[in-house]
Amino acid sequence: MSRISRAGADDRRDRDTEGRARNARPRDGLGRPLPYGADGVERQPEGVVRSPAETVVEAQALLAAGKPFHAHEVFEDAWKSGPADERALWRGLAQLAVGLTHAARGNTTGGARLLRRGAGAAEQWAAESGQNRPYGMDLAELAAWARRLAGVVERDGTAVDAVAWAPRLRGSEPG
């Protein structure tokens, strides 16, 4: 895991130990940056390789805790480290989590757009793979949840409660 440090006066970007730009500011539960020194939510480690079952369990726990931004990072790890034939699945699920993140932040346009994009990606992956319930997830139900939430945020034009709207990856649509 990379250590993140504050850069010197001549380079105002935070850098990890390999010199890559990494924002070291603390973040809230929805992934929004907070001022340096503020108490934030512990960040998800990046680049963790998990089994698909571990990915689903960890992402579900983060979603249920109102941390869809963090769940997106778990899905992103699966998308980047998983088998090529599953990358579109995990990318679509990451888009759903980011859509909920934006909807909870009050970005209704971006939230609705990403929720619909993620729903379409999950449905397309299911159609192309012939798998409607990979790792116990009901992709049709997740797509229906995402489209329903997209309609709500567009209609109401306000932020949603990330806990109340957290999807249940293995069934039983909330909201």
Tokens of 103: 């909807």
- DSSP character at residue 29: T
Residues 33 and 100 reside in one and the same domain = no
Residues 60 and 115 reside in one and the same domain = yes
Tokens of 83: 């088998």
Instruction: Say which residues have a Cβ less than 8 Å from residue 89's Cβ, sequence separation at least 6.
Output: 121, 122, 125, 129, 134
Mean pLDDT rounded to a whole number for the chain: 88
Domain-embedded: residue 141:
yes
- The CB-side HSE value for 54 (13 A sphere, CA atoms) comes to 8
pLDDT in tens, 56-108: 999 999 999 999 999 999 999 999 999 999 999 999 999 999 999 999 999 99
Report the distance separating Cα 155 and Cα 143, nearest Å: 18
Domain count, the chain: 2
What is the average per-residue pLDDT within 6-32?
69
Residues 72 and 19 reside in one and the same domain = no
Report the distance separating Cα 41 and Cα 59, nearest Å: 16
Domain-embedded: residue 167:
no
Residues 71 and 151 reside in one and the same domain = yes
- pTM for the model: 0.83
Domain range for 4: 1-43
Q: Is 33 helix (H, G, I), strand (E, B) or coil?
A: strand
Residues 69 and 122 reside in one and the same domain = yes
5 forms beta bridges with 15
- The 10 Å Cβ neighbour count of residue 144 is 15
pLDDT in tens, 41-56: 887 778 889 999 999 9
Domain-embedded: residue 65:
yes
Q: Is 41 helix (H, G, I), strand (E, B) or coil?
A: strand
Beta strands in the chain (DSSP E): 4-5, 15-16
Instruction: Say which residues have a Cβ less than 8 Å from residue 55's Cβ, sequence separation at least 6.
Output: 74, 75, 77, 78, 90, 135
Q: Are strands 4-5 and 15-16 parallel, antiparallel or unpaired?
A: antiparallel
The CATH number assigned to the domain holding 106 equals 1.10.3450
Domain-embedded: residue 146:
yes
DSSP-derived secondary structure for 73-112: HHHHHHHHHS-GGGHHHHHHHHHHHHHHHHHHHT-HHHHH
